[in-house]
Structure 1
């Protein structure tokens, strides 16, 4: 069987515009290839927008390092629907469409997810910018793109700071200092079962935990209450995704608050979860066999 691992021009090996953190793509392929091969599957990395691709030639496609979709959302979602007409797609395009805009967090809140207080501002103006500090009652706020990832277009700002250019629809949240003191907890699930958990920390003086900004990760054995909180988020979905990453941050009251439920192209940290490749290969084989 042939499996496509969807990448992008900014992560594909040999690309002249390859991102500095695209080594994470290489880590994923290194983890997946032998485990898929052991089960009779060949997994090949291919750009999602490769016009030469014949998607019917693959038995399935996994959305991997498509780390440019947030600037080409419409094209990306339309391409996924095309791929899905020709082969099995993980995760499915309807789920990806929902998850591609962070307003999905509103849906999860209605289903009982414990979130950080959030304002949604579709057209940022100086008046709305100033009002955000008053409404949230905080002196430091994080401004994020509603369609974005990897801290692209993100700002940590204090009351009184001039408003930077924010041409995108934005979400605004209080800055929780635990991102620096403890870090962000990530729980990686395959077919609804925990694969591994890790703690992501920013480099000194920063708050962004991604490797592109000098962040680092360590595997952890999560506390039962923390794991239960992550499982609760996943249980709000109608169907179990092939893969999911639940990113959470501790509130000063000790509870975990959902940052993101990553269902599109999350990096799944195989270096911190040495059995990830095996788990994904088994899950894909089982789904294709039953499907």
Structure 2
């Protein structure tokens, strides 16, 4: 029977609510499965047929090391999601790629380390409707180093932006959409390319680096939201020339001032899938993994016999 490793991180031990239902679902299908930390140097990964990335939540602070580890994994077994996806999705410049392919993305100004923070910020704000805005790094997870500012906090915002640029980190400027305070984000979860469930996530991005508690509840995705999410996934698939659907994806949307949804994030590396909120989702993911493992094992057998 092909074996599966679910990759987490030492720092995430005991903090991933997706892990228990997924392990139970894999066990119910008879898939030999272990949850192991990607950054545990004592683990021998060659004994597994596939590695599913899940709560590798520290990867943004160790990106070169993480991608090198993923490269090693993919050389000898099935990596889900694949390395090309991880390289692209680990940097928020991917939003510009999707926007260029017609995906409705939240207005974004990318700022590079060779630019001057204050002039860029002033020029960008002059093109935006008056209101709050967000400064965040292009490589980062969740609310890490992402801060919400009011128009009167130009000095603080420019210092934050300059600090990111001084660290040779590209940054991103985006308007803060007021709808998030009333409606939160809508997260659409796709498993094996098929829509699974949607959730409402209350915003946790406070002002001046004071994150707010995040509250999650199952929600309904409208046809317009579904259409946008599937547009984004199809665009990513074309761009990356993927031969099969992603094992999982989470599409985070916000409502713009005109009432239409906009893409906030396309999460393809280690998003929480909120399996504990959707009872059938863990089993659907496990069934998909079993099929992928069987197909991968069959290919290896044919190759070995050739």
Which has the higher mean CA deviation after the structures are superposed, 40-49 or 175-184? 40-49
Q: Which of residues 109, 133, 141 is equivalent to 2:125? A: 133
Q: Is the 8 A contact 2:67 2:87 kept in 1?
A: yes
Return 5+ residue gaps in structure 2 as ranges: 297-306
Name the residue aligned to 1:157.
149
How many residue pairs match? The answer is 277
**Partner secondary structure for residue 52 of structure 1:** coil
User: How much has 1:160 moved relative to structure 2?
Assistant: 3.2
Match of 1:113 in 2: 103
The separation in 1 between residues aligned to 2:199 and 2:82, in whole angstroms, is 26
CA apart distance, 1:206 = 4.1
Structure 1 residues 273-282 or 132-141, which shifts more? 132-141
- Alignment deviations for residues 28-62 of structure 1 (CA, whole Å, 9 cap, x no partner): 12111121012221322211122122111112101
Rounded Cα–Cα distance in structure 1 between residues aligned with 2:272 and 2:119: 37
User: Which residue in 2 is equivalent to 1:287?
Assistant: 292
5+ unaligned residues in a row in structure 1: which ranges?
A: 14-21
Match of 1:75? 65
User: In terms of mean alpha carbon deviation, does 159-168 or 98-107 score higher?
Assistant: 159-168
Calculate the aligned-residue CA RMSD, in Å: 2.0
Note the alpha carbon deviations across 1:98-127, whole angstroms, 9 max, x for none. Answer: 110010111111211001111000125222
> How does the TM-score come out when normalised to structure 1?
0.89
Could you tell me how far apart the structure 2 residues matched to 1:101 and 1:151 are? 15
For 1:207 and 1:255, the matched residues in 2 are separated by 25
Q: Following superposition of structure 1 onto structure 2, how do residues 88-127 of structure 1 map, counting pairs within 5 Å?
A: 88-123=78-113, 125-127=117-119
The structure that has the greater radius of gyration is 2
Residues 111/99 of structure 1: CA separation in 2 closer, same or farther (3 Å cut): same
Instruction: Indicate which of 103, 119, 136 corresponds to 1:144.
Output: 136
Residues 149 and 207 in structure 2, CA contact (< 8 A), matched pair in contact too: no
Give the SS at the match of 1:4: strand
Range 51-60 or range 136-145, more displaced: 136-145
Superposition deviation, residue 137 in structure 1: 4.0
